[in-house]
Amino acid sequence: MTQELQRPVAADRIGPAGLDVVVEAAADELAGLTRRMHIPAVESLRVEFHLMRLTEATILAEGRLQARVVQTCVVSLEDFPAVIDETFRVRFVPEGQESDDPDPEADDEIGYAGGMLDLGEAAAEQLALTLDPYPRAPGAELPEIDAEAPDHPFAALRPH
């Protein structure tokens, strides 16, 4: 499968002061991310990364993700625009050395191979993690349930 957003960065470019990289998705990449995320639209995506070496092979990435998306409200089923502005931390580790630690507080890990980090894929993964799985449009409310509703045909089967 071809990734929608690729931004390879050589790990050896990360010096003692770290490395700042900005990933901005182009129109065709946004279209691919829209399909991948299964939402009506990803209109913009900008991710700022600050990369720092923790060890020779482990790299910490701290960043900020900003995006404009269109999601479908789970209450009204209407599409609505949403703005995402989130910070995150992930660690890049050599492929196959990812931790099995189930700690939800631990940094997420992304494997890399050949000395190349794919910041595009990392950006796409962070977008997927920040999307609300149950998006609700501003002001959308669940309908009131009528307590006096007539019994349905199977009401007689209800235990008393």
**What is the mean pLDDT of the segment spanning 22-28?**
95
Does 150 score more than 70 pLDDT? no
The predicted pLDDT at position 147 comes to 60
pTM comes to 0.81
The predicted pLDDT at position 148 comes to 60
Provide the 10 A C-beta neighbour count for residue 34. Answer: 17
The predicted pLDDT at position 102 comes to 72
The predicted pLDDT at position 1 comes to 47
Domain boundaries, the chain: 8-138
Q: Tell whether the torsion through CA atoms of 35, 75, 125 and 100 is positive or negative.
A: negative
The predicted pLDDT at position 98 comes to 77
Under 8 Å CB-to-CB from 92, ≥6 apart: which residues?
Answer: 11, 51, 58, 59, 60, 61, 109, 110, 111, 112, 117, 122
Q: Which of 29, 8, 23, 36 is nearest to 112 (CA)?
A: 8
